[in-house]
A and B are shown apart, each in its own frame.
Chain A
Amino acid sequence: MNNWGFANQKTIAAICVVSWGLIGSNWALAQDSGKELFQQRCAACHTVGEGRRVGPDLVGVNDRRSASWLLKFITASQSVIKSGDPTAIGLFKEYQIVMPDQSLSGEQIKVILDYIKEPGGGQEASAVTATAPEATDQEIAKGQDLFQGKIRFSGGGPSCISCHNVKNEAVFGGGILAKELTTVYSRVGEQGLRAILTNPPFPVMKAAFDGKPILDDETHALVGFLKLADKENAFHQPREYGWIMFGSGCVGVIALLSFYSFVGRRRKKYSVNQEIYDRQIRSE
């Protein structure tokens, strides 16, 4: 009987998993409206009619470029640049950043482009988070802690410092795996930052935060911190450790080694017979 009970539990669990998956996919489908997709995928870097951010303003983009060019560029911008397309090269030169490849279907891209074409389309989407209050000192401190990993993200995502660095007195030796973020605030703007944090458009970052979203108040705190870092950067140049860091590491290692050899100076290091062995004739 027991066995049957066990099988039942398993089945129930399996049903739960499958149905949860189905609910999830339904939800994903529901997002396929142009507005939502735009918010999710594009708004981090682009506005419609509100000026450039990380990427160009998309107002009237449908008139400027052909639909097929757009399709190619959105799915694989780098290959378009490599193919020598002058427009693409021009864009890259101007913005100094490649647009991440979007894993969108042709259908979805069309929906987004249609949405931009709509009169007033895109504006509300870009304006969603426009009216956030200025971060308090407390929040900035929290943002700093979040950045450094002193506080964990409640969603469980990795802390920023594991990949990014910020030149700031408070942050010591950040990661160099991804972009340097000292001036990100002026580069991307407040809304851009917010959008990147809520919906990372970059593949690696997206994967890292997949299923571990950064909550709104955390985003707010981080943006506050990055804004401050940007501002402070303009005033003073924080210390650049560079070789000093490496050098002090070497000195530290030498100091530690000599400390341990001092502690172990009376250690028995050789065989009592070493002197006899040294005299023995060896075959090689």
Chain B
Amino acid sequence: MDIRSQISMVFHLDKCIGCHTCSVACKNIWTDRKGAEYMWWNNVETKPGTGYPTKWEDQGIYHGGWEKNGDGISLRGAGKRKGLLNIFHNPSLPVIDDYYEPFTYKYLDLIESAAGDDQPTARPVSMITGKPIDIKMGPNWDDDLSGTPDYARNDPNLKKLSAAEQEAMFQLERMAFFYLPRICNHCLNPACVASCPSGAIYKRGEDGVVLINQNVCRAWRMCVTACPYKKSYYNWHTGKSEKCILCYPRIEAGYAPACMHSCVGRIRYLGVILYDADRIHEVASASEGELINRHMDILVDPFDPTVIASAKKNGIADSTIQAAQNSPTYKFVKEWGLALPLHAEFRTLPMLFYVPPLLPVMATVKEVRNRKQTEKLGPISKVWDNDWLYDTSTEEIWGTIDQARFPLKYLANMFSAGDESKIKERLKKLMAVRIYRRWKTVGDITEKKAMDALREVGYTPEIADNVYYLTSLAKFDDRFVIPAAHREHAIEMLEFTGDKKGSTGFGFKEDTMKRGL
């Protein structure tokens, strides 16, 4: 047992409103620079849709991630032999048009043009060439475009669905979509790290954040190919690759990353999860059906005394262990079994988990007598004089899940390596909590029914209350449990701090000039 600590994340997809505030927060802090304009370390995609870069999930195009070979795994498009063979001619790189050509507008033309017959316009100009361009694409070009032939219907996750299933998804009455915010997953078995010929990428020991050392990066761009999530980007201006740094300067200071801090839907949770590093290789090479279970196994119980002992032996601070015990992500992922990793089949063991979306609950429109209800309304309220009710209650408890607007297979392709039962289990739990809360607050469901629902998914009312609290009421400090960074310990692992003692205090980053020259 080799216990390490990882800062992990949970995104609750039912809560995302697709406002892109997170992306903008990230862009303003980190990627508003020359050469980085096209990068979105945080982006929000509409699903079904092709995403950013287009069709990133299709490893037939980009050759990212690991693939199983025999007992072990190897990188699909990079690695020692393939990487060396292709080192000067990396064949599966996305081109700028796969992302989009970043642009701005010549706003000054609006106020500086000479008076004329026509309204002045601000022409779009490329942020790469500086020349006027026709905008072809944006980072969220297919936003809300479920059903479109060019985007939604080209979603790589539809590949394993039959034509009839696909057609059903895009019927006008059933059309639905949800948002998928993505950042780097700070994986346990990161393909980007494994692919780098210069050894520039590393997973930070103290909290598992994956970083690219800008001094060591030599622009081979193997990580761009290798990351199956396409979350490593090449900066054409500096000639170095860059990726999400999980706002580590903020985390070290105890703040939530900017995307999480600014999230309007409050969908994001961050906390420590302890894991057993000894088993990474074994878990990553598990068979496809076993991947998710094994991934969950490797995340260990922070209350288990043997785990705590091993963690302490590895120098994990008491405060970090405590943070792991309070971690909202551990609750969502392990305790409540609600969250799943995105595309586990890429075998990078991502540490960003998603609570799958329940999607719009199937509803019926019923004819009812509304008179009585209407009479109760005050004089200023709007009164509908028809007798229709948009009814979301359901006679059969799980009926709605099976008749969900999306085939479960679609969600399973994204979140559970194709295993529908796992998705169903999570959705049922979400539904059970909903039914339970409906009994409590609306009261049109009997207590028995609510309790039956909970019992069937293995929840107690107490757990349901906790899920409800963390989902809907949680405050900042409940959503983000950030341990003290203990940089001093991390630094001591790398260098002997005694060397600096007595020689610093009023310092300079570079040596000052010596006298006499």
Chain B residue, CB-CB nearest to A283: B134
Chain A residue, CB-CB nearest to B50: A272
Q: Which residues of B contact A264 (CB under 8 A)?
A: 89, 91
CA distance A270 to B96 in the complex (A): 10
B55-A277 in contact (CB<8A): no
> Which of the residues B61, B134, B136, B516 comes within 8 Å of A272, measured between beta carbons?
B61
**A273 interfacial contact with B, CB 8 Å:** yes
B134-A282 in contact (CB<8A): yes
Q: Which residues of A contact B98 (CB under 8 A)?
A: 271-273
CA distance A276 to B96 in the complex (A): 15
A271-B95 in contact (CB<8A): yes
Q: With both chains docked as a complex, state the minimum distance between the C-beta of B456 and any C-beta of chain A, in angstroms.
A: 43
**A268 interfacial contact with B, CB 8 Å:** yes
**A236 interfacial contact with B, CB 8 Å:** no
B54-A272 in contact (CB<8A): yes
CA distance A96 to B337 in the complex (A): 99
Q: Which residues of B contact A272 (CB under 8 A)?
A: 50, 53-55, 61, 94, 98
Chain A residue, CB-CB nearest to B151: A276
**A280 interfacial contact with B, CB 8 Å:** yes
Chief secondary structure at chain A's binding surface: loop
CA distance A267 to B137 in the complex (A): 23
Number of interface residues of A (CB under 8 A): 17
Number of interface residues of B (CB under 8 A): 20
**A64 interfacial contact with B, CB 8 Å:** no
Q: Which residues of A contact B97 (CB under 8 A)?
A: 271, 273-274, 277
CA distance A192 to B455 in the complex (A): 112
CA distance A90 to B110 in the complex (A): 80
Which residues of A194-233 are within 8 A (CB) of B? none
Which residues of B212-250 are within 8 A (CB) of A? none
Q: With both chains docked as a complex, state the minimum distance between the C-beta of A240 and any C-beta of chain B, in angstroms.
A: 38
A267-B150 in contact (CB<8A): no
Q: Which residues of B contact A65 (CB under 8 A)?
A: none
**B262 interfacial contact with A, CB 8 Å:** no
User: Other than the known A267-B89, A273-B98, A280-B134, what 19 A-B pairs have Cβ atoms closer than 8 Å?
Assistant: A3-B516, A263-B89, A264-B89, A264-B91, A267-B91, A268-B62, A268-B93, A268-B94, A272-B50, A272-B54, A272-B94, A272-B98, A273-B136, A273-B137, A277-B97, A277-B136, A280-B136, A282-B134, A283-B134
Chief secondary structure at chain B's binding surface: loop
CA distance A267 to B93 in the complex (A): 9
CA distance A276 to B150 in the complex (A): 7
**A93 interfacial contact with B, CB 8 Å:** no
**A82 interfacial contact with B, CB 8 Å:** no
Q: With both chains docked as a complex, state the minimum distance between the C-beta of A270 and any C-beta of chain B, in angstroms.
A: 8
Chain B residue, CB-CB nearest to A268: B92
Chain A residue, CB-CB nearest to B100: A273
Interface contact tally, CB-CB below 8 A: 43
Q: Which residues of A contact B91 (CB under 8 A)?
A: 264, 266-268
CA distance A266 to B85 in the complex (A): 14
Q: With both chains docked as a complex, state the minimum distance between the C-beta of B29 and any C-beta of chain A, in angstroms.
A: 28
Question: A30-45 vs B: 1/0 string, CB under 8 Å?
Answer: 0000000000000000
Which residues of B39-96 are within 8 A (CB) of A? 50, 53-55, 61-62, 89, 91-96
Which residues of A244-284 are within 8 A (CB) of B? 263-264, 266-268, 270-274, 276-277, 280-283
| Chain A CB within 10 A, most for which of B54, B62, B91, B92 | B91
Q: With both chains docked as a complex, state the minimum distance between the C-beta of B55 and any C-beta of chain A, in angstroms.
A: 5
Q: With both chains docked as a complex, state the minimum distance between the C-beta of A84 and any C-beta of chain B, in angstroms.
A: 61
CA distance A193 to B62 in the complex (A): 67
Q: Which residues of A contact B150 (CB under 8 A)?
A: 276
Question: B132-151 vs A: 1/0 string, CB under 8 Å?
Answer: 00101100000000000010
Q: With both chains docked as a complex, state the minimum distance between the C-beta of A276 and any C-beta of chain B, in angstroms.
A: 5
B61-A273 in contact (CB<8A): no
Q: What are 15 A-B pairs with beta-carbon distances under 8 A? A: A3-B516, A263-B89, A267-B91, A271-B54, A271-B95, A271-B96, A271-B97, A273-B136, A273-B137, A274-B97, A276-B150, A277-B97, A277-B136, A277-B137, A280-B134
CA distance A281 to B150 in the complex (A): 16
Q: Which residues of B contact A277 (CB under 8 A)?
A: 97, 136-137
Q: Which residues of B contact A267 (CB under 8 A)?
A: 89, 91-92
Q: Which residues of B contact A276 (CB under 8 A)?
A: 150
